[in-house]
Amino acid sequence: MDLKPYKLLNRIQHYAWGAKNQDAYIPALLGKKTEPDKPYAELWIGTHPNASSTLFADGENHLLQDWISRNPDAILGQDVSRRFGGQLPFLLKVLSAGEVLSIQAHPDKMQAEQLHKRDPEHYPDDNHKPEIAIALDALTALVGFKSSEDLVDTLNQYPEILDFIGADQAQNFISKPDENLKQLFSTMMSRSLSFPDQLQDAINRLANRLSVSSNQTEADSLFLQLRNIYKEPDIGLFTLFILNLIHLNPGEGIFLKAGIPHAYVKGNIVECMANSDNVVRAGLTPKFKDIETLTRILTYEQGVPEIYKILDKSVETHYQPPVSEFQLQRLDIEKDRSVEIRMETGIQILLMIEGAVQIQRNSDESINYKKGDSILLPAGLKQYTIKSEESARIFIAEPGIS
């Protein structure tokens, strides 16, 4: 097997919330024509069977995992191959949200195994899905529960939510907010299943009040926008007031471990995650919702989550979340500069966001790549050089430290 860089061919997922027309980031990245009114939601780069990448080698096209299986130690690296059973441990994505994604969370490994065994149709694999999201331009997202103080303020500011939950439950939370968040949220979610008419009435009352308000918050405006999309009673419309509304600038990132409720609102991001597609949804989606499971798997941690910052004028930015499946680097290379890359943890996948480069595996041979290309570097290469022909921005995904 020739240990050299290989260009990957990847699949686009056209979920309904994806960006469309002039806002469609993914076809612009890939240099493809945008089809009118077609949503371009995610580009998947990896081995997941729902949308596997392929590569051309030895005169034919191969599914990426099939090709890795021919020599996993040389491609993944011996340690990675051993730790992850000859499988690529991560999935790299570009995500482009034109509309709000569902209110969701991801299970841990044990929960994923149980969910997959119980309901393989909706939970397609038995793996957990910790993930990191890094803003390409900007990202607005709902992530994690507000602090107890902010949640008490929310219930006071939005009596329609308080009334729907019930005065007794709300008062229990207000009196001891650090102890009763799970009970409060579980009650709100379970009542949405048992009393949809009451939920619809509360949503209508809140919408009527906010629509004539001269002092709408960002969350208020988002609620009114989504209420025009989700006409049926949807508890996600209330959940968006319970979670932190955050904003990421370009290059900033956020890590989402198992059990953290979240929803991306708008923006273009690079995502890296364990190789899984397990999502437990509870609102703001036409897809399958599993409210009982969501309330059970949440960690109920509170407060604004930590944001990975980027250092100005730094060539290399490292994003190292506390997982063994993946880590990321962002490279910003000026024109006619070179960067030496050592492959210390195993296989790497590069994603070209801007510019054009040459990748050299020795002094005599180089291959040209441009914006939109994704490149697999087998672990057996051990090191290589990136030389920029234009100013370039590159993300590198690789296994985490064991």
- The reply to whether 236 and 279 lie within a common domain is no
Does residue 195 form part of some domain? yes
- The reply to whether 134 and 80 lie within a common domain is yes
The whole model's pTM is what? 0.94
Strand, helix or coil at 338?
Answer: strand
The percentage of residues in the chain with a pLDDT greater than 90, rounded to a whole number, is 88
Does residue 283 form part of some domain? yes
- The reply to whether 170 and 66 lie within a common domain is no
CA distance 195 to 229: 21
- The reply to whether 128 and 253 lie within a common domain is yes
Count up the domains in the chain and report the number: 3
Q: Two tokens at 86?
A: 């000859």
Q: Determine the average pLDDT of the residues in 164-180.
A: 86
- The reply to whether 54 and 171 lie within a common domain is no
Closest CA to 43 of 352, 381, 250: 352
CA distance 108 to 134: 22
Closest CA to 375 of 47, 5, 52: 5
Does residue 303 form part of some domain? no
Domain, as residue range, for 74: 8-144+246-295
Does residue 310 form part of some domain? no
Q: Two tokens at 202?
A: 């509360």
Catalytic pick from 83, 281, 330, 393?
Answer: 281
Does residue 379 form part of some domain? yes
Enclosing H/E stretch for 392:
strand 392-398
Does residue 1 form part of some domain? no
**Interval 73-97: pLDDT, tens:** 999 999 999 999 999 999 999 999 9
**Would you say residue 136 has pLDDT above 80?**
yes
pLDDT band for position 139 (cuts 50, 70, 90): very high
**Would you say residue 234 has pLDDT above 80?**
yes
Cβ-Cβ contacts under 8 Å for 336 (sequence gap 6 or more): 387, 388, 389
Q: Does the annotation mark 342 as catalytic?
A: no
- The reply to whether 22 and 122 lie within a common domain is yes
- The reply to whether 125 and 25 lie within a common domain is yes
Give pLDDT, residue 37: 97
**Interval 256-313: pLDDT, tens:** 999 999 999 999 999 999 999 999 999 999 889 999 999 999 999 998 888 998 876 7
- Dihedral (C-alpha) 225, 228, 230, 232: value to the nearest 10 degrees? 140
The CATH number covering residue 260 comes to 2.60.120.10
Give pLDDT, residue 364: 67
- The reply to whether 174 and 272 lie within a common domain is no
- The reply to whether 251 and 113 lie within a common domain is yes
Does residue 307 form part of some domain? no
**Interval 357-391: pLDDT, tens:** 999 987 667 899 999 999 999 999 999 999 999 99
The dihedral region occupied by 149, where left means phi > 0, alpha psi between -120 and 50, and beta the remainder, is alpha
Does residue 54 form part of some domain? yes
- The reply to whether 140 and 275 lie within a common domain is yes
- The reply to whether 76 and 93 lie within a common domain is yes
**Would you say residue 123 has pLDDT above 80?**
yes
Burial track 260-279 (b if 16+ CB lie within 10 A, e otherwise): bbbbbbbbbbbbbbbbbbbb
- The reply to whether 180 and 288 lie within a common domain is no
